[in-house]
Amino acid sequence: MSILDTRFETPYNTAPFSQLEIDAFLPAFKKAIKSAKAEIDHITKNKAVPTFENTIEALEFTGEQLDRISSIFFNLNAAETNATIQNIAQDVSPLLTEFSNDVALNTALFERVKTVYNTKKSLALSDEQSTLLDKKYKGFSRNGANLNRDQKEKLRAIDKTLSKLQLTFGENILAETNRYELLITEFSDLEGLPEGAIEAAKQLADEKDKKGWLITLDYPSYIPFMTYAKNRALRQELALAFGKKGFQNDALDNQEIVLKITQLRYERAQLLGYKTHAHFILEERMAKTPETVQNFLEDLLSKALPAAQKEFKVLENFAKKLDGIDRLEKWDSAYYSEKLKQQLFNFDDEQLKPYFKLENVIDGAFKVAQKLFGLQFTQLDNIDTYHKDVLTYKVEDSKQNLVAIFYADFFPRAGKRNGAWMTSYKSQFVKNDINERPHVSIVCNFTKPTSTKPSLLTFNEVTTLFHEFGHALHGMLADTIYPSLSGTSVAWDFVELPSQILENWCYEKEALALFAKHYETGENIPMALIEKIKAASTFQQGMQTLRQLSFGLLDMSWHGINPTKIADVKDHETAAFKATQLFPNVPENCMSTAFAHIFQGGYSSGYYSYKWAEVLDADAFEYFKENDLFDPEIAEAFKTHILSKGGTLDPLELYIKFRGQKPKVEPLLRRSGLLN
């Protein structure tokens, strides 16, 4: 089956992973680009007067084949990559960048778009059509259509270089993660680790024919060790290895790449008439300007810093009293925080894990979606996947109409990058009166089952699953005409609202009763534990808030200024972290060289959006809490105005339609325990 035949003869037109030949991707990309160019030519050579239909709408539906191939290929590169796929990605990325620039810098095409845009007031357009026209026009004007020939060539060169640098950045991080191993041969060095973590470490070692217990930089291995291992020297070794990624002055070093990426982004913004990369990016976000973002971050910082400093002092004193620690280091944070939490609330994650068997948590997420939005999930065994661990589901509404196909990929492996994310293999849109339903996926890195235990999640992993599932619902419930406005195609500082609001249900008794059952006995999670979860939810919220703010401030420090004078990545980062620093600086470590969100993903000038969306989600969830956790009218309003509308209207307008008012910051401060 050819990858070019994107009308696959498969159930629900799903990607035929097992039948795809990796070597066929590069020629398929080239053919699809050629085909998309022909579609563009058809628009520009049209002798008829430019109209919304023959120009804007026609442009929106060009390159369908190319989009589908790209989504399949780049999702594989993130979740099941290898050297061949990475080499193809290095070849393909410049081709896609060049094609994207061919479109953005096509004078004839821009003239047609501009003609329609200039007659906008006389056109009877719907809200969605009006938004699409605005976005298409800005897509040209913001990406160089008004530049002269030399400037356009310069822009092409910058974009081609950036696409390769970003790919290499990510490949280096994955290689760094895979190459480090901590082999423990003395059982005494595992003291403090839960039984499940020890068993998982043994299984990892066995899989690699090594004697002992293997700890890696993958989160399900790294985090339990940092949280529970009593051996401080080994915690230090592991933390240093984790913090050194891309910062070792070797073949996988990312320092020069960070400097080049930030300088090229700045140069690109200047070329397009913007003061900085952040000014360029934020023009199309809810925040609009870097000043708004900076003020937002600093306002939250002023509220969180006193609480964080107080919490840090408590933690410092606790570690000193418990173990005589004179200077609290970063590798002590998770360990002593967990010990303190156990003392304060008389419980830990290990008490919770038996109630969070992965399969039950998935079912719980499905039940919450069913109660809120009327969705039904049926597991399928006839959908092709790229790895045996991937689960597939058919999603239907209460009338058995197909809503989406849903993929779930939960466990770490060598070809998969760390972290958790939602993605899609096929967008939702309406064409020829057919509502094409989306194919949506969530990818996580959770603790694998062992020979004696199923996959038991930490509470943090439970909220992560709900978070990504919230993004997935945004994709699944999309109901727009145009693919570029569908699902999660919204302002970046709005996209985290559906994901973050869903996490709130994990703390509520009514929701936990649906899925938090002991994996052996089947008993519901005791009320006493639920109360402890809620009581502990504000534990160290000042420190947690400070940590998130520090990442947002670091992002803005790279992208909200002229970075050409920055000579040393570590020095710059240290200065950016100064206002939020609690722990002593670690000279051997650098976050920027592994900050994939902003140097590989799409979060440059956008990391603040997690906190921005927290304001929205806390305000929105308070609306539910004032009424009922599963209030059908509020859920329907959230589905109608937030989840289904995608990017068809200004996000603040959509939020007000749902909530009846602008969001307030007080619910977030209340929830975090930061309101005096």
Please pick, among 267, 311, 316, 468, the residue that the annotation labels catalytic: 468
The separation between CA 105 and the C-alpha centre of its own chain, rounded to angstroms, equals 30
Residues in the chain: 676
Report which of 386, 377, 395, 361 is spatially closest to residue 475, judged by C-alpha positions. 395
d(CA 277, CA 638): 33
Cβ proximity of 74 and 89 under 8 Å: yes
Token duo for residue 318: 């606790």
Which residues in 410-535 belong to E strands, given as ranges?
Answer: 421-426, 429-431, 434-436, 439-443
Cα three-residue angle 267-575-292, rounded to 5 degrees: 60
Q: How many other C-beta atoms are found inside a 10 Å radius of the C-beta of residue 391?
A: 16
Mapping DSSP to helix (H, G, I), strand (E, B) and coil, where does residue 77 land?
helix
What are the distances in angstroms from CA 179 to CA 203, 215, 241, 315, 512? 18, 12, 10, 33, 39
Q: Check if 588 is active-site.
A: no
Cα three-residue angle 457-234-587, rounded to 5 degrees: 105
Mapping DSSP to helix (H, G, I), strand (E, B) and coil, where does residue 491 land?
coil
What are the distances in angstroms from CA 188 to CA 185, 231, 489? 9, 9, 51
d(CA 198, CA 446): 15
Token duo for residue 48: 């008829």
d(CA 173, CA 244): 10
Q: How many other C-beta atoms are found inside a 10 Å radius of the C-beta of residue 467?
A: 22
Mapping DSSP to helix (H, G, I), strand (E, B) and coil, where does residue 674 land?
coil
Token duo for residue 202: 């043994």
Report which of 93, 44, 28, 36 is spatially closest to residue 61, judged by C-alpha positions. 36
Report which of 519, 13, 589, 579 is spatially closest to residue 294, judged by C-alpha positions. 579
Question: CA 191, 196, 202, 207: dihedral to nearest 10 degrees?
Answer: -160
Active site residues: 468
